[in-house]
Amino acid sequence: MINAGQVRAARALVAWSQDVLAEKANLSKSTLQKIETGLIASPRAATMEAVQKVFESAGVEFLPNSGLRMRDSMIVTLEGDSAGQKLLDDVYETLRGTGGEVIIFGVEEDIASSVLEEDSNKKGQHDKLISHIDRLRKAKIREKLLIKEGDTNFMAPQHWYRWMPAEYFAPYPIYVYGNKIVIVYWGPPFKAVIFENSEIAISMRKVFDFVWSKCEPARKLEEDDG
């Protein structure tokens, strides 16, 4: 388990204020201050695990003997039960507290909904995506999604979507958020490979912005309205 010194050092390493870390780890600022200053001598394990998790999602690697460092790159594979939900959670946790934008090449919302439905029977498939989109909006996070021309299955606000010509559309999404690039294979089994590298993420955004500028805003077709 990480210690108070590592919390202070990691926060400095990623240039987060106590307010940002407290928000990301779902803690009060006063609790975080007490942990960092040693006023809470033995913080709850669950609390420190939550703090460690948000730092690791930002690329911090914790080492033996209270050491830490930034990963130059990070590859993580999500696979199996609840992997789809874990991907959505990683998007949210990576950007929560700082806001930002998620860009997605080639998504089909009906397939995404089906994968989430298989993850768990606790909630309906549409409820899962709608809940995720709602928390993104509350955290001032928006998405830009390239979907196949003619697709009108809008789970998010309509202006988040643009139509990509069908001949160029591929049904396996690529996500870019923060410094992370994710390639999704719907399966079965569902698999998401997360690669973290700031330079490649910037390059992918430039390609996306070019394609986005050439694509038509998605809209409801006349037959849908009538």
Identify the pLDDT of residue 70.
82
pLDDT tens track for 79-117? 887 888 889 999 998 898 788 999 999 999 888 877 776
pLDDT tens track for 66-77? 889 887 667 888
pTM of the model: 0.69
Mean pLDDT value across the chain: 88
For residue 31, pLDDT over 70 is answered with yes
Identify the pLDDT of residue 224.
52
For residue 208, pLDDT over 90 is answered with yes
Q: Report the amino acid identity of residue 55.
A: F
Report the pLDDT averaged over residues 47-61: 90
For residue 14, pLDDT over 50 is answered with yes
Of 195 and 128, which is predicted with more confidence? 195
- Of all residues in the chain, what percent carry a pLDDT higher than 90? 60
For residue 122, pLDDT over 80 is answered with no
Identify the pLDDT of residue 127.
77
Of 208 and 126, which is predicted with more confidence? 208
Of 1 and 152, which is predicted with more confidence? 152
Of 224 and 33, which is predicted with more confidence? 33
Identify the pLDDT of residue 50.
92
